[in-house]
């Protein structure tokens, strides 16, 4: 299985360590095409490619090649929202993970979308359970 993990880069890297742990769990189910999202050395400058066009085209290639998308949506990110929208439009299965105790508001475009699965969590074990259910179904 090819998995596309989406998490904030330019929107803020405060959850990078969490992304790393989520990606590590996702690897139990298949190949994570976007492992770099969990790399702690990747900054909010988003310098993971030679140009923005390169990053866009590469990431869309990965998104199109993936079987499923798992997105951590607690940190607001236009890029993650764009990726989720593209995935929903193409009929891919999408799991969105949100931490309500973060003090942040979840976009209605995510919480109101019946075409994706939304799972709220407070600890990493809840994330693992949500992923296990989503990818096991």
pLDDT at residue 78 is higher than 70? yes
State which residues form the domain around 132. 2-136
Which tens digits make up the pLDDT trace of 50-60? 999 999 999 99
Confidence of residue 49 (pLDDT cuts 50, 70, 90): confident
- The domain total for the chain is 1
Which residues, 6+ apart, have CB-to-CB distance to 122 below 8 Å?
A: 99, 100, 101
| Alpha-helical segments (H) within 66-107 | 78-89
pLDDT score for 46 = 84
Give the CATH number for residue 12. 3.40.50.450
pLDDT at residue 27 is higher than 90? yes
pLDDT score for 53 = 96
0.75 surpassed by pTM: yes
CA neighbours closer than 13 Å in the CB half-sphere of residue 73: 28
Over residues 88-110, the mean pLDDT reads: 97
Confidence of residue 137 (pLDDT cuts 50, 70, 90): low
> What is residue 95's three-state secondary structure?
strand
pLDDT score for 98 = 98
What share of the chain in percent tops pLDDT 70?
Answer: 99
pLDDT score for 68 = 98
């Amino acid at each position: 299985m090819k998995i596309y993990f989406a998490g904030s880069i330019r929107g803020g890297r405060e959850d990078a360590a969490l992304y790393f742990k989520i990606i590590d769990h996702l690897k139990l189910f298949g190949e994570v095409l976007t492992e770099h999202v969990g790399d702690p050395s990747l900054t909010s400058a988003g310098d993971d490619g030679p140009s923005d066009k390169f990053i866009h085209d590469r990431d869309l290639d990965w998104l199109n090649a993936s079987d499923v998308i798992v997105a951590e949506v607690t940190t607001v990110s236009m890029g993650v929202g764009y990726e989720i929208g593209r995935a929903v439009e193409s009929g891919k299965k999408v799991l969105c993970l949100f931490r309500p105790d973060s003090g942040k508001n979840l976009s209605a475009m995510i919480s109101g979308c019946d075409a994706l699965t939304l799972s709220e969590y407070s600890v990493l074990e809840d994330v693992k359970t949500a992923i296990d259910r989503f990818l096991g179904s």
